[in-house]
Structure 1
Amino acid sequence: MNKEPFFWDKYSDQPQIIKDKTYKREMRKKYLFDLFKMLFSSILVLPFALIFMKFFKGKQELSNKDFLGLGVNLDKDDKENTQQKLVEELGVKNLIIRIPLWDMKNIDSYVTFAESFNENSPKNILLNIMQDRTHIESHHLLKKDLNLIFKKFQNIASEYQIGTTINRAKWGFFAVKEYLEFYKVAQDLRDDKYKNLKLLGPSIIDFEYYYNIRAMFNFHNIKYDKLSALLYVDRRGAPSNTQYGIFDTKNKINLLYTLAKLSSKTSDEIYITEVNWPLSNTAPYAPTSEKECISNEKYCKYMKEYIQIAKQSKKVQKVYWHQLIAPGYGLVDNRDGKIKKLPQFYTFKEVLNKDKE
């Protein structure tokens, strides 16, 4: 991704903020009409969604092991198979693995990495296809590289999240229209050559459901087999904290599920593919500023609450914790080459292995 003005922050595992403000402003201007479409569709859809929110009941009844998943990353891999051993210790069977399109030269390493988790017990692997600006602009290149990914992973994974964090410019997309066209490339390829695969989208981060509405209510010929969301809560506090007065985690899930039920562009199966809290005193590894960070003790408490809320809603099929090894927000700290299991590692293991919440 290190191609101006997009640069990767290896500490927080995400792109840096775009520093070229002129470029960012010009790209926003280019898609000003799409922003108007998003506003217009939100005005039309949101009131109906709020009205119907109380009427749609959840139906998912899953064990914690079926419900919970975990992110593992090739760039945290080592010769000791640390992640593989930690996954076995936890007993987690649902994994999400990032595949950056800008790192296609190492695709075989990602294949080997994914396969390594199946050596002791089979895992359900969801691949998170991460975009860059080059692949957004070149659909020919996108199709070529997606075809290679689908081909190489066809015996390893059947579910693919197409794109991620699409409502943050630093991740490459400047309008939902760009994402819809990006997703259509993947969908057409799947329909033509890989009919057994399931594609997930649109991967909106945080509580910005006006982006969801634009991505889920439109005239583009696309459909998400499952709805993916990176559903973080208020970074400064508990899952019970609210935004816009009434939207705590429970109601955020309720609204997302309602949008899924009302939309013809998706099934009502929801995967939350990323959630965590940032940890105090871990800069530059924390993905936010220190004022949003919390202690390990609060992290454990909030983790339990979040998982319980999502599971009891019966409207979420899976929650993937982001991620196993990450000093600034994960379950394990690997600074200085040492593996330190944080309290939340044991909390996740405890919750995962409970038969019932």
Structure 2
Amino acid sequence: MNKAPFFWDKYSDQPSVIKDKAYKKAMRKKYIFDYVKMLFFSLLILPFAILFMKLFKGKNNFSNKEFIGLGVNLDKDDGNNTQQKLIEELGIKNLIIRVPLWDIKNIDSYVEFAKSFNEKSFKNILINIIQDRVHIENHKLLKKDLDTVFSKFNSFVSEYQVGTTINRAKWGFFAVKEYLEFFKIAQDLRDEKYKDLKLIGPSTIDFEYYYNIRAMFNLYNIKYDKISSLLYVDRRGAPCNTQYIFFDTKNKIDLLYSLCKLSPKSNDKIYITEVNWPLSNTAPYAPTSEKECISNEQYVKYMIEYLKIAKKSKKIQKVFWHQLIAPGYGLVDNREGKIIKLPQFYALKEVLNED
């Protein structure tokens, strides 16, 4: 990822904002027609999705342990099986693990890391394949490295989120068209060699469903086995806070489910693969400015509310909290080599045992 103008911020676990504004402008201008398509289909589809969103009823009814997942990362591995022990203590059964394509040379380390969580009890693992600009532009390289990922994990992982955060340029994609081509490479490879694997997308972040519409209503020969969304809510407040007058977390879920029901490219199975709140006084680890940050006590309250809303909707199959160890937004603080379980760690443990 550390190739200009894309640079990784190791503190907040995400790419830094692209500073080369001329490059960004040129890339967006290149795909202006794709933005026109997105606008056209959004104006066409959104009214129907909003109109019907309260008519579609959810049907999922999972226990908390089936419903809740958590992110763990190889780069937080300390050689002492700390994450593995924390996962066992929590009783988490669903894990999401990032595998960045730019680090494909270390794929065996990711495989061993993923396998290590199954030593005491079986875990359902979702591999989050993270793109970079090189793989977006070079389809031959993309196919080769996806083949490596699928072949290495195939024996014990069946679900893969193909790409992430497709509506943020700093993650590499400048148009949904680029993502659709990226996903089709993965799907064609799956159909050719790995027929039992499930591919999940399009992994938009926040409440920007016009990107979902472009990704879910198009003429590409693709189909998502499940829909993934990084459904963050108002960074400044509670899950019941609204955007665009009445879109709180519940209504955002209803609208996403409605899009899934209407789309020919998906079914109605949805994973929320990333959500959290940023923590006060943790800069530079917090992924936002201090203005958006909250206390641990607020974090606990909002986390519990969010999980209850998502589960009660019966429209979400799994919510993966992001993530286990992250001083600026997670459940455990590992600064200065110390492992400090934050109040949200214990709160999630309690929620998992409420069934």
Task: Please give the range of the TM-score, normalised by the shorter of the 2 chains.
Answer: over 0.9
Q: Deviations over 1:105-148 (max 9, x none)?
A: 10000000000000000100000000000000000000000001
Match of 1:180 in 2: 180
Q: State yes or no: 1:140 paired with 2:130.
A: no
Match of 1:339 in 2: 339
TM-score of the two chains, using structure 2 as the length reference: 1.00
- Counterpart secondary structure, 2:299: helix
Q: State yes or no: 1:98 paired with 2:102.
A: no
Match of 2:274 in 1: 274
- Counterpart secondary structure, 1:348: helix
Q: Could you tell me how far apart the structure 2 residues matched to 1:350 and 1:155 are?
A: 32
Q: Could you tell me how far apart the structure 1 residues matched to 2:86 and 2:54 are?
A: 40
Q: State yes or no: 1:250 paired with 2:246.
A: no
Match of 1:224 in 2: 224
Q: Could you tell me how far apart the structure 1 residues matched to 2:272 and 2:337 are?
A: 30
Query: How far is the alpha carbon of 1:231 from its aligned partner?
Result: 0.1
Match of 2:209 in 1: 209
Query: How far is the alpha carbon of 1:187 from its aligned partner?
Result: 0.2
Q: Could you tell me how far apart the structure 1 residues matched to 2:182 and 2:16 are?
A: 22
Q: Could you tell me how far apart the structure 2 residues matched to 1:313 and 1:54 are?
A: 11
- Counterpart secondary structure, 1:78: coil
Question: How does 1:116-131 map onto structure 2 within 5 Å?
Answer: 116-131=116-131
Q: Deviations over 1:58-95 (max 9, x none)?
A: 00000000000000000000111000000000000100
- Counterpart secondary structure, 2:98: strand
8 Å Cα contact 1:234/1:241 also seen in 2: yes
Query: How far is the alpha carbon of 1:179 from its aligned partner?
Result: 0.1
- Counterpart secondary structure, 2:286: coil
Match of 1:300 in 2: 300
Match of 2:319 in 1: 319
Q: Could you tell me how far apart the structure 1 residues matched to 2:54 and 2:97 are?
A: 35
Query: How far is the alpha carbon of 1:307 from its aligned partner?
Result: 0.1
The amino acid across from 2:86 in the alignment is L
TM-score of the two chains, using structure 1 as the length reference: 0.99
Match of 1:47 in 2: 47
Q: Could you tell me how far apart the structure 1 residues matched to 2:244 and 2:61 are?
A: 30
Q: Could you tell me how far apart the structure 2 residues matched to 1:20 and 1:309 are?
A: 40
Q: Could you tell me how far apart the structure 2 residues matched to 1:93 and 1:353 are?
A: 12
Match of 1:165 in 2: 165
Match of 1:289 in 2: 289
Q: Which runs of 4+ in 1 moved over 6 A?
A: none
Q: Could you tell me how far apart the structure 2 residues matched to 1:53 and 1:61 are?
A: 19
Q: Could you tell me how far apart the structure 2 residues matched to 1:151 and 1:64 are?
A: 31
Alignment coverage as a number of residue pairs: 355
Q: Could you tell me how far apart the structure 2 residues matched to 1:280 and 1:341 are?
A: 16
Query: How far is the alpha carbon of 1:265 from its aligned partner?
Result: 0.2
Query: How far is the alpha carbon of 1:353 from its aligned partner?
Result: 1.3
Q: Could you tell me how far apart the structure 2 residues matched to 1:250 and 1:257 are?
A: 11
Query: How far is the alpha carbon of 1:154 from its aligned partner?
Result: 0.6
Q: State yes or no: 1:329 paired with 2:344.
A: no
Query: How far is the alpha carbon of 1:155 from its aligned partner?
Result: 1.2
Q: Could you tell me how far apart the structure 1 residues matched to 2:144 and 2:90 are?
A: 37
Q: Could you tell me how far apart the structure 1 residues matched to 2:274 and 2:223 are?
A: 21
- Counterpart secondary structure, 1:349: helix
The amino acid across from 1:38 in the alignment is M
Query: How far is the alpha carbon of 1:354 from its aligned partner?
Result: 1.1
The amino acid across from 2:286 in the alignment is A
Match of 2:71 in 1: 71
In structure 2, the gaps of 5 or more residues are none
Match of 1:36 in 2: 36
Q: Could you tell me how far apart the structure 1 residues matched to 2:212 and 2:190 are?
A: 23
8 Å Cα contact 1:129/1:161 also seen in 2: yes
- Counterpart secondary structure, 2:122: coil
Match of 1:113 in 2: 113
8 Å Cα contact 1:207/1:233 also seen in 2: yes
Q: Deviations over 1:222-266 (max 9, x none)?
A: 100000000000000000000000100000000000000000101
CA RMSD after TM alignment: 0.3
Question: How does 1:226-241 map onto structure 2 within 5 Å?
Answer: 226-241=226-241
8 Å Cα contact 1:114/1:156 also seen in 2: no
The amino acid across from 2:78 in the alignment is D
Match of 1:153 in 2: 153
Query: How far is the alpha carbon of 1:352 from its aligned partner?
Result: 1.1
The amino acid across from 1:115 in the alignment is K
Q: Could you tell me how far apart the structure 1 residues matched to 2:241 and 2:54 are?
A: 20
Q: Could you tell me how far apart the structure 2 residues matched to 1:209 and 1:100 are?
A: 25
